[in-house]
Amino acid sequence: MKKVPGTFPALRSTRYFGNRLAATGAAVLLLLAVIAVCAPWLAPYDPLAVNLPEALLAPSPAHWLGTDPLGRDVLSRLIFGSRISLLIGFIAVGVAVVIGTAVGLLAGYAGGRCDAALMRLVDTMLAFPSIFLLLAVIAILEPNIYNIMAVIGLTSWMGVARLVRAEILSLKERDFVLAARALGASPLRLMVRHLLPNAMGPVLVAATLGVGGAILTESVLSYLGLGVQPPTPSWGNILNEGRVALGIAWWLTLTPGVCILVTVLAFNLLGEGIRDGLARR
């Protein structure tokens, strides 16, 4: 069957997995997802169990990554912390993608004053430094997991809106859209059935890259004490706990830092692989 112009481009496995770095990123993320799902069975200790006599033990066969100032096993806390990081990353990006896609789709299709008003809103949001906006909102709200996800999502949708708007401006002049309009398709059907599916390629790349950014943002907030609150383990607050014992307990900062680095890098490699696959169609 001949491919209809304008349909969403499929990612061929040979295009994606030919990129070894992207395939490595996908494998790392798959492993991380398995660890997060199987955390209760993989963690050697209860991540919340306090054992003061074993505080700040160096890595050993009993505690592979050492213990923290309260004697809790760092490896167990990192394993359970992966759940928090992935959950916050995916939910926050999901919120950003939904809002950004809706704003970009409406602005690109409607044009005129609607487009101008929505883009000025985007410009206004982008004018605020994101980290200060996050700190201000979190300082007002109670710092918990749900507020963190909502705040990160509500302050990171602007890039998605711009991407979708640019795609819609290009797509709405294509022949398949003009043909659908000539056949009497309503504006809602044009946007949802014809324009939106064909604009999702760049959104998919932005979402993949955005998950890594959301995880990094959560880690920064937790490190500053405004993110996930103890005793719930997250990579950011494990870093914060290690800050006060940096000179004598290097493992408290090194191990969560490496986890954050590897996870964000894996998402970036995955996003680049998807981008390459779409660009070669």
Say what percent of the chain tops pLDDT 70.
Answer: 93
Per-residue pLDDT tens over the stretch 37-73: 999 999 999 999 999 999 889 999 999 999 998 999 9
Distance (Å, whole) CA 35 – CA 262: 14
Q: Is the Cβ–Cβ distance between 263 and 216 less than 8 Å?
A: no
According to DSSP, residue 228 is labeled: S
Say what percent of the chain tops pLDDT 90.
Answer: 40
pLDDT, position 4: 46
- Residue 264 CB neighbours (<10 A): 20
Distance (Å, whole) CA 62 – CA 80: 18
The two tokens of residue 164 are 């979708």
Long-range pairs, 6-15, Cβ under 8 A, ≥24:
6/171, 6/174, 6/176, 6/177, 6/194, 6/198, 7/197, 7/198, 8/197, 8/198, 8/200, 8/201, 9/201, 9/278, 9/281, 11/274, 11/277, 11/278, 12/277, 15/276, 15/277, 15/280
Per-residue pLDDT tens over the stretch 97-136: 999 999 999 999 988 899 999 999 999 888 887 778 787 8
According to DSSP, residue 60 is labeled: -
Whose structure tokens read 């507020």?
147
User: Domain 83-268 is classified in which CATH homologous superfamily?
Assistant: MetI-like (1.10.3720.10)
pLDDT, position 83: 92
Burial of 154: CB neighbours in 10 Å, binned 0-12, 13-18, 19+: middle
pLDDT, position 161: 93
Domain ranges of the chain: 83-268
Q: Highest mean pLDDT range out of 140-144, 212-216, 275-279?
A: 212-216
The two tokens of residue 34 are 């398995």
Backbone phi and psi for residue 71, each to the nearest 5 degrees, phi listed first = 80, 10
Backbone phi and psi for residue 73, each to the nearest 5 degrees, phi listed first = -70, 125
The two tokens of residue 108 are 């690109």
Distance (Å, whole) CA 261 – CA 89: 14
Distance (Å, whole) CA 94 – CA 154: 10
Model confidence at 7, pLDDT cuts 50, 70, 90, reads very low
pLDDT, position 18: 52
- Residue 257 CB neighbours (<10 A): 15
Q: How many helices (H) and strands (E) does the chain have?
A: 14, 0
| pTM of the model as a whole | 0.84
